[in-house]
Amino acid sequence: MLAKLREQGPAYLVVGPFAIVLAFPFYWMLMTALKTEGDLYNPANVPFKWNQDSPTFDNVEFLFRETEYLQWLENTAIVGALVVAITLALSLPAGYALARLSGSWGQSVGVAIFLTYLVPPTLLFLPMSRVITELGLQDRLASLVLVYPSFTVPFSTWLLMGFFKTIPAELEDAALVDGASRLRALASVVFPISLPGILTVVIFTFSLVVNEFVYAITFISSSTERTVSAGVPTELIRGDVFYWGPLMAATLIPAIPLALLYNVFLDRFIAGFTGGAFR
Amino acid sequence: MSVAAEAGRVRRRRDFLEERRFLAPVLIGPAIIFITALVGGPLLLAVYLSLTDATAGSLTGEWVGVSNYVDAWDSPIFRRALRNTLIFTAISQVVVLVSAGLLAHALIRKFRGKWIFRFLILLPWATPIALGTIGFLWIFDSLFGVFNWILVHDVLPGGQAFYPYKAVNWLLARPALPGWLEIAPIDPFNPPQWLGQPTLAMAAIIAVHSWRIIPFATVIFLAGLSSIPAEVEDAAKVDGATGLRKFWYVTLPLQLPIATVALLFGIVFTATDMTVVFILTHGGPFNSTHMLTTWAFDTGITSSALGQGAAISLYLLPVLALVAILMLRFARRTEVS
């Protein structure tokens, strides 16, 4: 017992305080999201717990009834799905080819593609905003669908390259010997095995889309076309009027499912992310 | 006869498709073309725009040479934004690297309830940052926020004596404090505006951004730690290296590469971030917390001075180029080893 404590104790001492600090905002959001107005704005109440009439789902109801929040969630889902599709179509073949077919210069091209992931939206949003206007896409979700793959494709290609490297080449060679073409071997042997890796790419690509803020506020200004990341800070905060309860609910609703997915796919993400670099 | 020839031709065409020299470019090509068009194109366009007096509404303008860069440099707000960006990046990277190093070392061990701790620590990374920052707006609220409630409320039940702001004021009254901090003592009837005072607002921005990057850096550190073979630790143990010596001579050097990767990512994600500042202070109060990114946005989008804005954001390019070169060098070294 004592030996166990000595072994595990230090880990708790580090992880405990960090977990409290990093997760505290979510506790605070949850408390606020489910409070009544009377509870929230009474300075006599201890704010860390629910007081009179709380918890309540009034704020969540307000969010879905009185604001365009649901529309923003929908927009985000549409853009996310389309961007994921485009990203996979471009980065699946590229990631595979970089891992398998192209030998020594494959690594260099891989790194070069990855480096473009580091060119940030904050450097490109000004010229992009002009291009989007020229194309007549301003205020339309299509502008985001067009531009988001510029960072999701490099990121996903890198991840997929990492995953494909972990799959032994002998597996496809066996299929090739059996007379399958390379593309066929790809479709019937390689992709099914790498399905967990592909799913990881889907999750993280989607979350990049949900996260994106700079392009979303630059290209789109009508409230019905907003994504959730841009809609909540711009449309729900008007001047000095803050609807804190609904705002906190709006923050938590996308965060929770994403956090659960991250946890499930984290180990695979690590494998793919470092697979390209540390192998 | 003709059937056989037909089959042969099909076969040859298939062989051609199978040819590595042909297949690899076909598979990689679309991705490269797309990326070049959507990253390379706008980047060049940004450079071009920064050399013109283009405004929103036109894609071209009069060629003005480097005067946008000179004008930007001469503006006090730009200087302040540049300085803020450097401070923001440097301090948050120190905080993030130390925290992530500690966390990864703890998380790599086996202990009870590890998954719940891991879940809690990953939460900030999984949350869309624009939304997470709104949570912090509320935390920093001057009337009902966490800090001011704790500071000016008597935290001991029924005590009527222990007000935490008194301890803070005692600390602030020490003459050893450097003058540039510019933090006034706390007035309990007019508690601090966390986002309305330059030093406090900068601290808030750094805190929120660190909060968001720590989980990601921890994940990278974890990946690096788990790639250190167990034999190395065993060998160090056999050689009698323990505690600090082992940490200094064995563990630390092995972690240098992964710390470098985490740092390079951190620098890029921090220096080029706009979301946290945009939502938390939008450069205020009085343009004192602008970063290059938010100042470029205000100039290029809000004030429609496209060329000016592009020039401001391109001041970030040297940082990115440096990071890219270091990354390339790093990638080549791991390739050789």
Number of domains in chain B: 2
Min distance A140 CA to chain B CA atoms (Å): 17
DSSP secondary structure code for residue B184 in this structure: P
Average pLDDT over residues B208-226: 89
Q: How far apart are CA A234 and CA A247, in angstroms?
A: 11
How far apart (Å, rounded) are the C-alpha atoms in residues B30 and B301? Answer: 32
Can you tell me whether residue B125 is helix, strand or coil?
A: helix
Tell me which of A101-110, A157-166, B112-121 is least confident. Answer: A101-110
Q: Considering only CB atoms, which chain B residues are within 8 Å of A49?
A: none
Check residue B14 and give its pLDDT.
55
pLDDT of B3 strictly over 70: no
Interface test with B, best of A12, A22, A46 (most B CBs within 10 A): A22
Residues in chain B: 337
Bigger pLDDT: B329 vs A225: A225
For residues A63 and A250, the answer to whether their CB atoms sit within 8 Å is yes
Of the candidate ranges A175-184, B46-55, B75-84, B312-321, the one whose mean pLDDT is the lowest: A175-184
Instruction: Give residue for tokens 């990049």.
Output: A208
pLDDT score of A104 more than 70: no
Residues B136, A25 contacting (CB under 8 angstroms) = yes
Cβ within 8 Å of residue A119, ≥6 positions away: B39, B43, B320
Q: Is it the case that residue B142 has pLDDT exceeding 90?
A: no
Q: Do A123 and B317 touch (CB under 8 A)?
A: yes
Highest mean pLDDT among A155-169, B68-82, B139-153: B68-82
User: What is the pLDDT averaged over residues B263-286?
Assistant: 90
Burial class (CB in 10 A: 0-12, 13-18, 19+), B105: buried
Which B residues in the span 240-259 are in contact with A, Cβ-Cβ below 8 Å? none
Q: Across residues A169-174, what is the average pLDDT? A: 81
Position B9 confidence tier, pLDDT thresholds 50, 70, 90: low
Whether the CB of A159 is below 8 Å from some CB of chain B: the reply is no
Residue recorded with tokens 């480096």: A115
pLDDT for the residue B16: 54
Rounded mean pLDDT of A9-30? 91
Optimal mutation site among B11, B22, B28, B116, interface A, most CBs of chain A within 10 A: B28
Residues B3 and B134 in one domain: no
The answer, yes or no, to whether residue A1 has pLDDT greater than 60, is yes
Q: Do B31 and A230 touch (CB under 8 A)?
A: no
> Measured between alpha carbons, how far is B223 from B104 in angstroms, rounded to an integer?
9
Nearest to A27 by CA among B139, B142, B82: B139
The third-level CATH classification (topology) of the domain covering A60-275 is MetI-like fold (1.10.3720)
DSSP character string of chain A: -HHHHHHHHHHHHHHHHHHHHHHHHHHHHHHHHT--HHHHT-TTS-TTS--TT-S-SHHHHHHHHHSSHHHHHHHHHHHHHHHHHHHHHHHHHHHHHHHHTTHHHHHHHHHHHHHHHTS-HHHHHHHHHHHHHHTT-TTSHHHHHHHTHHHHHHHHHHHHHHHHHTS-HHHHHHHHHTT--HHHHIIIIIHHHTHHHHHHHHHHHHHHHHH--HHHHHH--SGGG--HHHHHHHHSEETTEE-HHHHHHHHHHHHHHHHHHHHHHHHHHHHHHHHTT--
* A55-80 tens-digit pLDDT: 889 899 999 998 999 999 999 999 99
pLDDT above 80 (res B80)? yes
Give the residue from chain B lying closest to A46, CA to CA: B149
Contact B198, B285 (CB under 8 A): yes
Residue whose C-alpha is closest to residue A159's, from A120, A211, A196: A196
For residues A243 and A144, give the distance between their C-alpha atoms in angstroms, rounded to a whole number.
28
- Chain B residues with beta carbon closer than 8 angstroms to that of A232: 130-131, 134
Amino acid letter for position B69: Y
Q: For residue B39, what pLDDT is reported? A: 92
Measured at the CA of B95, the angle between CA B92 and CA B97, to 5 degrees, comes to 105
A111 interface with B at CB cutoff 8 Å: yes
Reported ipTM: the value is 0.90
Q: For residue A152, report the phi and psi dihedrals to the nearest 5 degrees.
A: -75, -30
**What does B163-183 look like in DSSP terms, one character per residue?**
-HHHHHHHHHT-TTS-GGG-P
| Main-chain phi, psi angles of A241, to 5 degrees | -90, 115
Of B31, B214, B274, which has the smallest distance from its Cβ to A22's Cβ?
A: B214
Q: Which DSSP string corresponds to B263-285?
A: HHHHHHHHHT--HHHHHHTTT-S
Residue in B with minimal Cα distance to A88: B31
Q: Is B205 on the interface with A (CB under 8 A)?
A: no
- H/E stretch holding B259: helix B252-271
CA pair distance A181, B14, nearest whole angstrom: 8
pLDDT at position A257 over 80: yes
CATH code for position B298: 1.10.3720.10
Q: Do A124 and B43 touch (CB under 8 A)?
A: yes
Domain shared by B17 and B136, yes or no: no
Which residue in B33, B34, B44 has the most chain A C-beta atoms within 10 A of its own C-beta, making it the best mutation to test that interface? B34
Are B42 and B73 within one domain? no
Map out the domains of chain A as residue ranges: 13-56, 60-275
B167 domain-assigned: no
In one-letter notation, the amino acid at residue A208 is: L
Average pLDDT, chain A: 87
The residue among B297, B271, B123 whose CA lies nearest residue A254 is B123
Residue ranges making up the domain that contains B240: 69-140+194-336
Within a domain: B223: yes
Q: Does position B156 have pLDDT exceeding 70, yes or no?
A: no
A25–B124 C-beta distance less than 8 A:
yes
Looking at per-residue confidence, does A41 or A22 come out higher?
A22
CB contact under 8 A, A15 and B121: yes
Q: How many CA atoms lie within 13 A of A246 on its CB side?
A: 20
pLDDT band at A278 (very low <50, low <70, confident <90, very high): very low
Any CB–CB contact under 8 A between B331 and chain A?
Answer: yes
Of B26-30, B40-44, B67-71, B276-280, minimum mean pLDDT range: B26-30
Instruction: Tell me whether residue B187 is in a domain.
Output: no
Residue B279 has pLDDT above 90, yes or no: yes
Same domain for B84 and B201: yes
Q: Say what the pLDDT of residue B170 is.
A: 81
Report d(CA A141, CA A156) in Å as an integer.
Answer: 22
- Which of A36-45, A164-173, B2-11, B127-136 reaches the highest mean pLDDT? B127-136
In this predicted structure, what is the pLDDT of residue B1? Answer: 47
B337 pLDDT more than 50 = no
Statement: residue B2 has pLDDT above 70: no
User: Does A261 lie at the interface with B, CB-CB under 8 angstroms?
Assistant: yes
Q: Please report the pLDDT score of residue A137 as a whole number.
A: 93
Query: Both B89 and B36 in a single domain?
Result: no
Judged by CB atoms closer than 8 Å, whether chains meet at B39 and A28 is answered as no
Do residues A133 and A146 touch, judged by C-beta distance below 8 A? no
* The pLDDT value given to residue B160: 66
Residues A185-202: tens digit of each pLDDT: 778 888 888 888 899 899
User: Band of the pLDDT at A3, cuts 50, 70, 90?
Assistant: confident
Scanning A48-87 for CB atoms below 8 A from B yields none
Q: Is A6 on the interface with B (CB under 8 A)?
A: no
Highest mean pLDDT among A25-29, A55-59, A165-169, B327-331: A25-29
Q: In this complex, do B121 and A119 lie within 8 Å of one another by their Cβ atoms?
A: no
Nearest to B195 by CA among B183, B208, B205: B205
Tell me the nearest-neighbour CA distance from B331 into chain A, angstroms.
Answer: 7
The Cα of B157 is separated from the nearest Cα of chain A by a number of Å equal to 11
Residues B29 and B132 in one domain: no
Torsion sign across C-alpha atoms B100, B103, B106, B109: negative
- Between B146 and A240, the more confident residue is B146
pLDDT digits (tens, 9 = 90+) for A108-138: 788 888 888 888 899 999 999 988 988 999 8
- Predicted confidence at residue B336, as pLDDT, reads 46
CB contact under 8 A, A247 and B138: yes
The rounded Cα A14 to chain-centroid distance in angstroms is: 27
